[in-house]
Amino acid sequence: MKADCDVAVIGAGVAGSAMADAMARRGWETALIDKEVFPRHKACGEFLSPESAGILRRLDQLGTVEALNPPAITSVRLHSERGVSLEIPLPGTAWGISRHALDAKLQQSARMRGVRLLTGWTAAAVEKNGCGDYSIDLRGRDSGNLRLTARSVIAAWGRRPPNGFLTPVHRRGRSYVGLKSHFTGFDSSPAVDLYFFRGGYFGVSPVEGERLNAAALLDRAGLNRRETGGALREIWGSAAERIPALRERFDKAEAVPGTQAATYPVRIPTEPSPWNGLPCIGDAAAVIPPFCGDGMAMALRSVELCVPLADAYLRGTCSLEEWRSAYTRHYHRHFAGPLRWGGWMNRLLAYPTAAAWLLRIGSVAPETARRLVRATRLGD
């Protein structure tokens, strides 16, 4: 019996939407599934790194993003709670762009290519059926269940796989809470600011619509110690008390109602898992330490690696095993370095003294600072 589609992509974030779009462009019948209904706000720093532009161009998505008029960002400013700051020019122009706008725009582009978009549907189980195709059980947010069959399935479900795909890697490591809100009334400059303090950091980045996005990543233990109840404003206030540079900016800020989002747990496994019974792209394959601001670029790069192999598999010119082996090899070659350095910096910057020293070293040896930042990134 013919499958309902050639490719089913589970997860319609940055990775899944770009993947679905690319497969539909190659002529494959594609379904894109997400449990959420879009547009929606998402806990994210919303900083689209300079590395993204080249990847978006190759995926033919540069125009999609530029159409949203995102503000340009040309430098990163790092601040420690010991009052040390360091500004590093970015290796190219980055953008600030809300996930509210970006994810919906990428989905719209995919839909225009003929992708069948199924939002409000949770993929509860995926299994191989007797014909070698996959059956996906979907649970509707508002209405019953649905079973979809596909010749191939791509996992783009982000950091948290459905239960059947949870491995020990997903349970390991420190757990963080991610939060975000948009603000108005801030001073705005073409820079992303990262404020590091014990147990977390705040990232502040301009986004479209003359707003600033403030995102925080806080270690769960630190959050409990502060007994804040988790409200972003309280957490922000408590961080601002200790970081002078943040306090000055916070004075004039007004939170935009309806733009708050939170996520828990954020775990940063040290080992990537690009194949978990299924090909995984984006955060499903590896969680990039958020302060690197490169998670979306890496998600898009994984799409670039996966598309030609998925295409070859569907054409019958490569087996599933060849796809697995080539994708896993390419993935490790591209991502091992940035993941190792990013994980190491993430741990170091959680300690105020280490963070202050790192920033001091960066101010007297800017080339060393630039190299360190480059080591956490993909390049384009």
Number of residues located near ligand FAD, criterion CB under 6 A: 40
- 156: contact with ligand FAD by CB under 6 A: yes
Residue selected from 7, 31, 32, 47 as contacting ligand FAD according to rule CB under 6 A? 47
Least Å distance, CB 223 to ligand FAD, is: 13
- 266: contact with ligand FAD by CB under 6 A: yes
Contact criterion met (CB below 8 Å) for 379 and 104: no
Closest to ligand FAD by CB, 42 or 324 = 42
In the chain, the amino acid numbered 4 is: D
Query: If we measure between CA atoms, which residue out of 302, 214, 196, 304 comes closest to residue 252?
Result: 214
Contact criterion met (CB below 8 Å) for 331 and 321: no
Residue selected from 7, 9, 16, 261 as contacting ligand FAD according to rule CB under 6 A? 16
Closest to ligand FAD by CB, 151 or 377 = 377
Alpha-carbon distance of 105 to 68, in angstroms, equals 8
Query: If we measure between CA atoms, which residue out of 331, 182, 200, 218 comes closest to residue 271?
Result: 331
- 108: contact with ligand FAD by CB under 6 A: no
Least Å distance, CB 316 to ligand FAD, is: 28
Alpha-carbon distance of 60 to 71, in angstroms, equals 20
- 14: contact with ligand FAD by CB under 6 A: yes
Contact criterion met (CB below 8 Å) for 76 and 93: no
Query: If we measure between CA atoms, which residue out of 61, 62, 52 comes closest to residue 91?
Result: 52
- 282: contact with ligand FAD by CB under 6 A: yes
Tell me the window of 30-38, 66-74, 194-202, 359-367 that interacts with ligand FAD (CB under 6 A). 30-38
**349's tokens:** 């910057």
Least Å distance, CB 124 to ligand FAD, is: 7
Helix axes 320-349, 295-315, angle to 10 degrees: 170
Contact criterion met (CB below 8 Å) for 281 and 15: yes
Give φ, ψ of 261 to 5 degrees.
-150, 150
- 148: contact with ligand FAD by CB under 6 A: no
Residue selected from 162, 237, 277, 352 as contacting ligand FAD according to rule CB under 6 A? 162
- 217: contact with ligand FAD by CB under 6 A: yes
Interacting residue ranges for ligand FAD, rule: CB under 6 A: 10-16, 33-36, 43-47, 49, 122-123, 156-158, 162, 178, 203, 215, 217, 263, 266, 282-284, 288, 290, 293-297, 299
